Structure 1
Amino acid sequence: MKPEHYPEAPAHIWEHFYHFTQIPRPSKEEAAVRQYVIDQAEAAGCSWKTDAVGNLVVYVPGSAGREDEGAVIIQNHLDMVTVKTEDKEHDFHRDPLDLQVVDGWLKADRTTLGADNGMGCAAALAVMTDDSVSHPPLELLFTVDEETGLGGAQELDAGMLSGTRMLNLDTEDWNELYIGCAGGHSHTFRRQYASAFTEGLAHFHLNLKGLSGGHSGIQIHEQLGNAIKLLVDFLQGVEGLQLARFHAGVAHNVIPREGDVWFACPSHLADSLQTRLDTLLGHWRGYLPAADEGLQTTLSAAEPEAVLSAADSNALLDVLAVFPHGAQSYNLAQPADLVDLSINLARCELQDGALYIESSLRFFNEDQSHPLRRQMAALARMADLELTDKGGYPGWQPDFDSPLLARGKALHERLFGEVPAVKAIHAGLECGILKSKKADVDILSFGPTIRGAHSPTERLQIDTVAPFWTLLTALLAEM
């Protein structure tokens, strides 16, 4: 059911977006939303194709008199990040999103909204279903599995595409045009530790929640709290500590916002643990950004269970303490918030002695990432961890001489009376991969304003959707 004050105009884009929010679409589970797109295409009399991994291309004939023009690709991804707060009951595999309109923003109740990239998908369908839009032949490309490593784009059958101009609608700041994106690389680390029941220890459970979390690319420079790092900060100061379980983080591209750890320590330290935690909370709140003001911790007694030895526990905590996280270097030629190289300590799992750590790094120049990758390998060797290189994807090098950029800038200034900012984004847009598969394609990316992507605070600024639609349709009319 649409919430009160749900936007009504532009009608086609908002209607399609609503349907996207009502169809569950986690990464690798896009079949239902892909079928929605196919149904819309067939109702509009458009043909379509899919490739072996489920990427979909819808072929939209050109408007009257424009049938023989060169095709334009409009590209988006079907899947969404699925993150919720601890107190929210929601099954992302079955439940529609519960939408809310708050102070000019569209959001979901304590879950991600999926405006990344559902709004772009909705815009592509709106172009197809709104007969008032003038456009050349279109190839609407809907990729799958973007949020877990750009898998759909990497396996795309580029032979389904003929266009040499592409509009990507997966960026999140209105009044900005994007002409470059970061590449990425990910690693996992594993080790099996011995665990056993130990007599004479007190057992505890520490829960940490309320951090903002967020996108590990475009928000990595904001110095948001990382739940793994904060938990380790507490644990390393507990004498004789032995770890039982550790659970924090949800995905490689999400800054960890909450976590749980189960541990044991000598009984005589029990009374001092809460004092230590209260002291650290004061320290953390003194330097974390305002976005993390919801930070909360709960320390409680727990049932006894098998734990690692004190030596193994300390060694594991040392690994997490020295593990790099955050922006590593900035672009000297661009605004100070454009990060050149970063890494996200994304997940840590310890269960029955089995350790799993996941990290992802991002870069514009892949050569710059090599020392950081060697640092990961060195850390794995020193800690006797099994390192798996999960591979990566290329970046999209900025082209300031792009004809599509020149047209977009001029049109934006003419329509809205201001020159848009031209930027590259420290995130893994699929543009880099698609450019590697179709070297002749000229790409421009833009979108409405989205905040808090990849977190339960994700929200879409409603009044940026209409001008976004205006620019998209005006650009298609002139291409």
Structure 2
Amino acid sequence: MTAINQLYPQPLWQWFEQICAIPHPSKFEQALSQHIQDWANAQGLNVVEDKVGNLIIKKPATPGMEDRKVVALQAHIDMVPQKNADKEHDFEKDPIEAYVDGEWVKANGTTLGADNGIGMASALAILGSSDIKHGPLEVLLTIDEEAGMTGAFGLEAGMLDAEILINTDSEQEGEIYMGCAGGVDGQISVPMTWQAPEQDNASYRLTLSGLKGGHSGVNIHLGRGNANKQLARFLFEYADNLALELVDFTGGSLRNAIPREANISFMLPADNVELLEQNIAQFQATIRAELAIADPDMTLTLEAIDSPTKVMSETAQNSLIDLLNACPNGVMRMSDEVEGVTETSLNVGVISTEEEQVQILCLIRSLINSGRDEIEGMLTSLAHLSGAGIEFSGAYPGWKPDNSSPVMEIVRATYNGIYKKDPTIMVIHAGLECGLFKEPYPNMDMVSIGPTIRFPHSPDEMVNITTVGQYWELLLAVLENIPAKS
């Protein structure tokens, strides 16, 4: 089997191997950050950790390129921690088990962290090089991009000298990104009241699994199943007829990942267990038929559990089921301006049952503020009708496209010069940090590029080896083509 660190370009893959070896899920990036700082100091580079934990590393121009505009290469340090249910893995302690599978690098049962580990590795490889031509260079590595964009929110004016920023967080070779969606978190709180269960009831847990999941932005248009919504649909169709008494509803783990698994615990009359099994088989066949192309492997698993001491009251249970079943999810509108790109979407990402309430965490994305506002209004109305509470937080702006961007033209021309064809200029339905950087650096010229990454934010994540080499060659050529300061 080919070793990761022997792939082309070797300096990049050697860094990626190190990145995989050091746990760095969102909120727990410090070990990797410290490793990078220690390395940068040993290289004699100027490295600063700002007040929120971002790293800024500066490297002088190579001889003869001192007059070029200052460029910042930007990536985020953290990765999304997702694993298969049968995989034993502690993202805060265990390394990512990356391996080569044909033309792809994958991980064993977990997310790979190519999002944005490949971009970070490329920036560090350039910092460590002695033969790559570039002008004055800065590398900005932000924290917590996947869980709240804390690093991007906290970046202050004056930390960077760059006139140009190259974001490395895009996920399709041959596409150059010049804009992205903004977003906001919505948290719906459904009040819970409880009652004693029927003493002669049977107790079970029903788990819905086998869905592909994926990135709630770039994969949202693929029509994949949402485990939370599918299980809510099951309850809406069968709970009353089966006389189910809900104990809890749990699903998803991240607001920005399409939930792959969800489960409910409940009681029902023992006489209804045979009907329950029939309903499960019927529902599973229905969903598999509906998602035969997009997501064909949904599975429902029933297991007996110990009898609980309380169940949801009938009123609370009905309110929860109705709200979840009615809650919008997925693509809300496609863009009129950018063909084939989602304009506005909603992901019902995480459901958790607490003593006083059931919490439903959603992520709204939109290329336009009015689209985001519309979905906020829909969720607010739904919460009011259901007697639930709702709060919105963590709003971040989109990155408005600039058709006159000089660095965009440099990247376009450079790509054409290498590959003799024009790249596709795109806007991405995901939250790149560029929109937030525009606040402290309003005049900074920005562009985003990257290799082909499939199924980020899921254990199926993989990065195409050939496109990593193409991305690397493009990045180095762009750095060499940066113009002199005006």
TM-score by length of 1: 0.97
Looking at structure 2, the residues matched to 78 and 225 of structure 1 have their Cα atoms a distance apart, in angstroms, of 29
Q: How far did 1:341 drift?
A: 0.6
Q: How far did 1:403 drift?
A: 0.8
Note if 1:307 corresponds to 2:311: yes
Q: Which residue type is aligned with residue 154 of structure 1?
A: F
Note if 1:83 corresponds to 2:82: yes
Alpha-carbon contact 1:228-1:259 (below 8 Å) kept: yes
Q: Which runs of 5+ in 2 are unaligned?
A: none
Q: Which residue type is aligned with residue 313 of structure 1?
A: Q
Residue 58 of structure 2 is matched in structure 1 by 59
Note if 1:203 corresponds to 2:219: no
Residue 323 of structure 2 is matched in structure 1 by 319
Alpha-carbon contact 1:195-1:353 (below 8 Å) kept: no
Residue 335 of structure 2 is matched in structure 1 by 331
- Bigger mean CA deviation after superposition, 96-105 or 427-436: 96-105
Q: Which residue type is aligned with residue 434 of structure 1?
A: F
Q: Which residue type is aligned with residue 214 of structure 2?
A: G
Alpha-carbon contact 2:148-2:394 (below 8 Å) kept: no
Residue 41 of structure 1 is matched in structure 2 by 40
Q: Which residue type is aligned with residue 78 of structure 2?
A: D
Cα gap change, 1:74 to 1:296, in 2 (>3 Å): same
Alpha-carbon contact 1:186-1:361 (below 8 Å) kept: yes
Question: Aligned to 2:166, what secondary structure does the other structure show?
Answer: strand
Note if 1:272 corresponds to 2:271: no
Give the 5 Å matches for 1:375-394: 375-394=378-397
Alpha-carbon contact 2:191-2:316 (below 8 Å) kept: no
Residue 371 of structure 2 is matched in structure 1 by 368
Give the 5 Å matches for 1:61-460: 61-199=60-198, 200-236=200-236, 237-238=238-239, 239=241, 240-288=243-291, 290-305=293-308, 306-336=310-340, 338-460=341-463
State how many pairs are aligned.
477
Q: How far did 1:44 drift?
A: 2.0
Cα gap change, 1:294 to 1:3, in 2 (>3 Å): farther
Alpha-carbon contact 2:190-2:320 (below 8 Å) kept: no
Cα gap change, 1:475 to 1:206, in 2 (>3 Å): same
Q: How far did 1:6 drift?
A: 5.4
Q: How far did 1:363 drift?
A: 0.8
Question: Aligned to 2:106, what secondary structure does the other structure show?
Answer: strand
Cα gap change, 1:447 to 1:243, in 2 (>3 Å): same
Q: Deviations over 1:275-331 (max 9, x none)?
A: 111111111111215452332221122211111022321211000001110111111
Instruction: Supply the RMSD in Å over aligned alpha carbons.
Output: 1.4
Looking at structure 1, the residues matched to 259 and 424 of structure 2 have their Cα atoms a distance apart, in angstroms, of 30
Q: Which residue type is aligned with residue 473 of structure 1?
A: L
Q: Which residue type is aligned with residue 350 of structure 2?
A: R
Q: How far did 1:450 drift?
A: 0.3
Alpha-carbon contact 2:83-2:459 (below 8 Å) kept: yes
Alpha-carbon contact 1:186-1:360 (below 8 Å) kept: yes
Q: How far did 1:70 drift?
A: 2.6
Looking at structure 1, the residues matched to 345 and 156 of structure 2 have their Cα atoms a distance apart, in angstroms, of 30
Alpha-carbon contact 2:145-2:151 (below 8 Å) kept: yes
Question: Aligned to 2:362, what secondary structure does the other structure show?
Answer: strand
Q: Deviations over 1:197-231 (max 9, x none)?
A: 31232211101111000000011111110001111
Question: Aligned to 1:231, what secondary structure does the other structure show?
Answer: helix
TM-score by length of 2: 0.95
Looking at structure 1, the residues matched to 45 and 177 of structure 2 have their Cα atoms a distance apart, in angstroms, of 30
Q: Which residue type is aligned with residue 317 of structure 1?
A: I
Cα gap change, 1:93 to 1:4, in 2 (>3 Å): same
Q: Deviations over 1:30-59 (max 9, x none)?
A: 111111221221222111112111011001
Q: How far did 1:262 drift?
A: 0.2
Looking at structure 2, the residues matched to 315 and 395 of structure 1 have their Cα atoms a distance apart, in angstroms, of 34
Q: Which residue type is aligned with residue 91 of structure 1?
A: D
Q: Which residue type is aligned with residue 106 of structure 2?
A: K
Cα gap change, 1:154 to 1:5, in 2 (>3 Å): closer
Q: How far did 1:163 drift?
A: 0.8
Looking at structure 1, the residues matched to 162 and 50 of structure 2 have their Cα atoms a distance apart, in angstroms, of 17
Q: Deviations over 1:437-477 (max 9, x none)?
A: 21101111010000010000000101111111000000001
Q: Which residue type is aligned with residue 234 of structure 1?
A: F
Q: How far did 1:353 drift?
A: 5.0
Alpha-carbon contact 2:5-2:17 (below 8 Å) kept: no
Q: How far did 1:386 drift?
A: 2.0
Looking at structure 1, the residues matched to 245 and 481 of structure 2 have their Cα atoms a distance apart, in angstroms, of 66
- Bigger mean CA deviation after superposition, 90-99 or 155-164: 155-164
Q: Deviations over 1:79-101 (max 9, x none)?
A: 00000000000000000011121
Alpha-carbon contact 1:214-1:254 (below 8 Å) kept: yes
Alpha-carbon contact 1:6-1:101 (below 8 Å) kept: no
